[in-house]
Copies of this chain bind each other. A is one copy, B any other.
Amino acid sequence: MSWKLDKNRPVCPQIVEQICVKIANGELKAGEKLMSVREVALAAGVNPNTVQKAFETLEQNGIIYAQRGSGNFVSDDVLIANQKVAEITEQKTRNYINEMKDLGFNEEEIKKYIEVLIK
């Protein structure tokens, strides 16, 4: 279980996203036990509180559930994670497009810009 964290962005939502992705792509399966808060914190080089907060967010979204004393588990309904990933993706993309349009770019220019920088 690997963690690529961009230290220039808030860490907590990144953990949330990455766990959703891991569930969405099958790396984590329905009902499976997650690594403990402390293990993730250690592996990702992050404070346990930050991981705890990320897990709380995931639980509030019904993507995982916590069981005191035994750990956190992937929800049986994996669909929610997929939706969350889709939602995050769409929101990031819409944000990007809007910001680019505010900067005066039109649709064709944005597409070209992406194409140039993408590799």
Contacts and interface: CB of A to CB of B under 8 A. Distances in A.
A18 B102 contact: yes
Contact of A97 (B97, B105, B117): B117
B68 A102 contact: no
Interface stretch (A34-42, A72-80, A83-91): A83-91
Nearest to A106: B118
A45 interface: no
Please report whether the interface of chain A is mostly helix, strand, loop or mixed according to DSSP.
Answer: helix
A102 B85 CA distance: 11
A46 to B, nearest CB: 11
Interface of A: 4, 6, 10, 14, 17-18, 21, 24-25, 47, 60, 68, 70, 85, 88-90, 92-94, 96-100, 102-105, 107, 110-111, 113-115, 117-119
